[in-house]
Amino acid sequence: MTETSPNLEIQARLLELRKVLQRTSYEYYVLDSPTMEDSVYDALYQELQAFEAQYPQLITPDSPTQRVGEKPTTQFVSVQHHIPLYSLENAFASNDVITWQERCQKGVEKQEFLDSVCELKIDGSAIALTYEHGVLVRGATRGDGTSGEDITPNIKTIRSIPLRLNLENPPDRLEIRGEAFLPIAVFDEINQERSQKGEALFANPRNAAAGTLRQLDSRKVDKRRLDFFAYTIHLPSALGRGAGGEGNPQNLSDITSQWQALEFLQTIGFRVNPNKKLCQSIQKLQDYYDYWSTERLKLPYMTDGMVIKLNAFSQHDQLGFTQRTPRWAIAWKYPAEEMPTIIEAVTVQVGRTGTLTPVAELRPVLLAGTTVSRATLHNSDRLAELDLHLGDKAIVRKAGEIIPEVVRVLPELRPNGATRFVMPTHCPECSQPVFKPEDEAATRCINLECPAIVRGAIEHWVSRDALDINGIGEKLVRQLVTENHITSVADLYDLTSDRLQTLDRLGQKSADKIIAAIAQSKTKPWARVLYGLGIRHVGSVNAQNIADNFPNVELLAMSTPDAIASIFGIGEEIAQAVYEWFHKDANQDLVQRLQSAGLQFVREKKDENAIAINPNIAGKTFVVTGTLPTLKRDEAKALIQGAGGKVTDSVSKKTHYLVVGADAGSKLEKAQSLGVECLSEEELLKLISSIT
């Protein structure tokens, strides 16, 4: 007879099973020292499952059975981080590290070297974990550092992340930071499986890890076997902080240094990278860097540098943070990896604007942890510099550790009879003659009906920042151009649901949705339409500025380059490109067709009374860069312009403010060098809302 409520004996057995299974998982996944046979573990796990099936009221979030959910989620929810996840300042040479260390010494008013902890910089995805009363309640992506996505079901599948901390009397809340990553061996297995299925391969383990974490079905995530290294513990403020030490702490209140924090993280259930080192001199830092510059290639996971943190938490508190980075830490990056291989062939790709890009087809080579078989050759000028011959042995590297490129060829190893590669005189897509302006490096196809140009134009037109037509992706665009003989974006507005259903694997429901999305695009404003036309050098900000100054397409088409260049933020090159585009017969015909289809080529009338001009904003020039926490970039621009400000694409001495989001890049560096004031999204909103 089935019991309806468990007795004390059953409850005790449940508790015992969970403790044994949790301890066994810790020994296996964290300590790499299993003490139990798999068959015994499986039997205990099945016993726990049976008890919980009979008494579901006893299931707890930290039970080992709760690592993998049964139902996929429909979407991820954005959540605010309790504590921001900052970026790290980068160093690329020993002098950068020395300068950083000297800056830290000044900040804490000490002359001697400040003890520092070196850790390998794992190439994965930063994760924020929240534990309440010792139980994992949330796992979130880094996002922009201020907010991320709640991916708790996926985080629970990572066996090296404990569901319950091995900690007596845990605090109400504890924040842990670390890196989720995909081991290289697992990455290779996944790509092999994807290759056999005819699916696109992941570029590298980092991308694969990030993509895995955003799977909506945690059961799929579980099969990917992600791993995790913890590297930061945020102590409850009530505990306070003292001077750094090296002893192994037994309680949270004992932790006063990064070295102790790493030791403690492992004792409470986390896997910590074992290749850490406490250094007392610059030379020790250099030795660590030099050693791992080669040894890292033998590791079972990817690493692209080392992270150096001052050891004493008291010094962290003294130095604090900049807007984006902690002053007490720095990442010393390794140079891009280079490898020799053979150039077996060169193919030429044609882009949206007709630009021809030569691509080297390589004998596959392992580079920075991924197999590389193609590398960009940029343009004909670069080809001439390389003096590239088919069959050459070449040195290949990853530019920014992402895009493979050919650095140089080795002519002394060139095979006899090798032929120099020269750019084609005719387009490889449409066979029409190509053109290379004397003052440009790019070679272009100028046939507007070239299939490659048409495909690129349509992909740009349907993109989010342009007409935002959902349901039309790269694969469908290729089908439309090759099978339905579409030759311009205007042809999209002649499509019918029946016509779409003639395409492979496209049913009525999908076809109807696409037709509805195409119809919806007719309501997009004039600035979005202008951007969607794909005029060279005209980005979304420039398109908005031009549309604000030319209320309809007729006035813009009749304007002179000087008139267009008179717009604030629009230079001569952009003005000339706009002028030339509108003076081509084919483009004039395109505009007429789009107007007839119902697209908006007239600026909407603004309610001047609804615009609250802010004296703190009016007349000021802003640049927006990076990913903002809550606002889309075009939303931030609209707010600035609505308050009377101006928005441009590039930073200059005339820029008043740079609005900075995550992954800001070179614009932030230039703004800092020019002394331009930088604002976070929160600071921007405060500035806009203030009337002083």
- Return d(Cα 107, Cα 182) in angstroms, integer: 38
Residue 1's pLDDT band (boundaries 50, 70, 90)?
Answer: very low
More confident residue, 649 or 489: 489
From residue 302, alpha-carbon distances to 151, 297, 336, 534 in Å are 23, 8, 13, 38
**If pLDDT is split at 50, 70 and 90, which confidence band does 250 have?**
low
State the Cα–Cα distance between residues 503 and 483, nearest whole angstrom.
Answer: 8
Determine contact, residues 186/133, Cβ cutoff 8 Å: no
Instruction: Specify the 3-state DSSP secondary structure of 2.
Output: coil
Residue 556 token pair: 């813009």
Contact 272, 265 (CB under 8 A): yes
Rounded average pLDDT over 581-596 = 93
* Backbone phi, psi, residue 173, to 5°: -145, 140
Within its chain, how far is the Cα of 363 from the centroid? 29
φ/ψ of residue 561, rounded to 5: -55, -40
Of 150-164, 232-246, 493-507, 580-594, the least confident: 232-246
Least Cα distance to 258 among 287, 231, 286 occurs for 231
526-597 and 451-523 share a CATH fold:
yes
Catalytic residue among 19, 71, 110, 121: 121
Angstrom distance (rounded) from CA 172 to CA 236: 9
Question: What is the pLDDT, as a whole number, of residue 419?
Answer: 93
d(CA 671, CA 636): 18
Distance CA 357, CA 443 (A): 8
Q: Tell me: pLDDT of 259 over 90.
A: yes
**Can you spell out the DSSP letters for 365-428?**
EEETTEEEEEEE--SHHHHHHHT-BTT-EEEEEEETTTEEEEEEE-GGGPPTTPPBP---SB-T
Top mean-pLDDT range of 122-126, 590-594, 627-631: 590-594
CA distance 352 to 462: 13
pLDDT in tens, 356-402: 999 999 998 877 667 889 998 888 888 888 999 999 999 888 754 45
Exposed/middle/buried for 403, CB within 10 Å: 0-12, 13-18, 19+? exposed
The lowest-confidence range among 1-15, 54-68, 123-137, 648-662 is 1-15
Cα dihedral sign, 234-236-241-247? negative
Average pLDDT of 165-180?
91
Cα–Cα distance measured from residue 13 to residue 21, given in angstroms and rounded to the nearest whole number: 12
Q: What is the pLDDT of residue 537?
A: 83
Whole-number percent of the chain with pLDDT over 70? 88
In the predicted structure, residue 322 carries a pLDDT above the cut 60:
yes
Q: Which CATH number fits domain 8-66: 1.10.287.610, 3.40.50.300, 3.40.50.10800, 1.10.150.120?
A: 1.10.287.610
DSSP states along 417-456 = TPPBP---SB-TTT-PBEE--TT-S-EEE--TT-HHHHHH
- The pLDDT value recorded for residue 242 is 42
CATH fold of 89-333:
D-amino Acid Aminotransferase; Chain A, domain 1 (3.30.470)
| pLDDT attached to residue 594 | 96
Mean pLDDT of 144-150: 83
Q: How far is CA 428 from CA 185, 378, 405, 536, 557, in A?
A: 38, 16, 22, 22, 32
Helices 633-642 and 540-549, packing angle to 10 deg: 30
Helix, coil or strand: residue 459 = helix
Higher pLDDT, 83 or 689: 83
Look up tokens 């031009």; give the residue. Answer: 546
Q: pTM of the predicted model, to two decimals?
A: 0.51
For residues 348 and 441, give the distance between their C-alpha atoms in angstroms, rounded to a whole number: 15
Span between the terminal Cα atoms of the chain, in Å: 77
Active-site residue flag, 333: no
- Give pLDDT, residue 611: 42
pLDDT at 199: 62
- Residue 103 above 90 pLDDT? yes
For residues 91 and 332, the answer to whether their CB atoms sit within 8 Å is: yes
Q: What percent of the chain has pLDDT over 90?
A: 38
Residues 429 and 350: beta-carbon distance below 8 Å:
yes
Task: pLDDT band for 46, please (50, 70, 90 cuts).
Answer: confident
What digits encode the pLDDT tens for the residues 283-310? 999 999 999 988 888 888 988 899 999 9
**DSSP bridge pairs for 646:** 621
Q: Are 30 and 165 in contact (CB under 8 A)?
A: no
Res 444 pLDDT > 80: yes
pLDDT in tens, 647-667: 887 888 888 999 988 777 778
The architecture (CATH level 2) of 339-435 comes to: Beta Barrel (2.40)
- Second-level CATH architecture of 451-523: Orthogonal Bundle (1.10)
Q: Write out the DSSP string of 576-602.
A: HHHHHHHTSHHHHHHHHHHHHHT---B
Confidence of residue 30 (pLDDT cuts 50, 70, 90): low
The edge-to-edge listing of strands for the beta sheet with 677-679 is: 646-648, 621-625, 657-660, 677-679
Q: Give the pLDDT band of residue 32 (cuts 50, 70, 90).
A: low
Q: What is the mean pLDDT of residues 396-414?
A: 79
3-state helix, strand, coil in the chain (%, to 5): 40, 20, 40
The yes-or-no verdict on residue 67 having pLDDT over 80 is no
Q: In whole angstroms, how far apart are CA 543 and each of 232, 312, 488, 570, 590?
A: 44, 51, 20, 10, 18
pLDDT for res 371: 81
Q: Is the pLDDT of residue 154 over 80?
A: yes
Q: Which residues pair with 126 in a beta bridge?
A: 179
The backbone torsions φ and ψ at residue 472, rounded to the nearest 5 degrees and listed phi first, read -110, 100
For residue 637, what pLDDT band results from cuts at 50, 70 and 90? confident
Write down the pLDDT at residue 368. 63
Task: Please give the pLDDT value at position 608.
Answer: 43
Residue from 404, 331, 277 nearest 92 by CA: 331
Domain 526-597: what homologous superfamily? 5' to 3' exonuclease, C-terminal subdomain (1.10.150.20)
Domain ranges of the chain: 8-66, 89-333, 339-435, 451-523, 526-597, 608-689
- Name the CATH architecture for the domain at 608-689: 3-Layer(aba) Sandwich (3.40)
**What is the identity of the amino acid at 249?**
P
- Of 113-117, 178-182, 568-572, give the lowest mean pLDDT range: 568-572
pLDDT of residue 241: 47
Q: How confident is the model at residue 609 (pLDDT cuts 50, 70, 90)?
A: very low
Mean pLDDT along residues 476-487: 86
Q: Minimal CA–CA distance to 28: which of 38, 18, 13?
A: 38
- The rounded distance, in Å, linking the Cα atoms of 551 and 487 is 28
Mean of pLDDT over the chain = 84
